[in-house]
Structure 1
Amino acid sequence: MATIPLATNFDGDFVLKLLPIDSANTMDELAAAAAENVIGIHVHDQPGKTLRVRKQGAAEPYARATTVAEAALEPTECVEIYFE
């Protein structure tokens, strides 16, 4: 496993954040890690809603169990995190 820095764009936040994430982490784990730096600080929590991850500009999110390695995300590539 390797640490990959990804740019994260959390829906409702006003700034991109660089998040170091392990290539073995799933999209759910990536979303949870990104949420730690945003929910309750820049974005209100939405209990009962699921966080989803998609590549910036993509219409569909990744499957929740897809790993960062399986998604073939490159260092500093941007992903969008949003409540579904």
Structure 2
Amino acid sequence: MFQFMGFNYAACGESSVESFVNAMCESEFKQLVLSARFIKQARMLPSLQAKDWAEFARRYNGPTYAQNNYDKQLEEAYQKYR
């Protein structure tokens, strides 16, 4: 469901890359938990709560987020499922 580079294991609340991979393979629920931890630890929660899709996409995907329209994709998904 979610993609994170292995070097973010600690931001997801795991003690090693191996435990991170095992947790991500455990279940979709565990992926959601790890993702929420990452969003909180990486200080992306305020932009998500404010629906500042550009800022959230920049923090999640890096400075080239706009090349792939990640901010627009987030906004479209939000509008579709809210």
TM-score (norm 2): 0.28
Question: Of the two structures, which has the highest relative contact order with CA contacts closer than 8 Å and spacing of 6 or more?
Answer: 1
Computing the radius of gyration from Cα coordinates, the structure with the larger value is 2
Higher strand share: 1
Which has a greater percent of helix?
2
If the length of structure 1 is used for normalisation, what is the TM-score?
A: 0.28
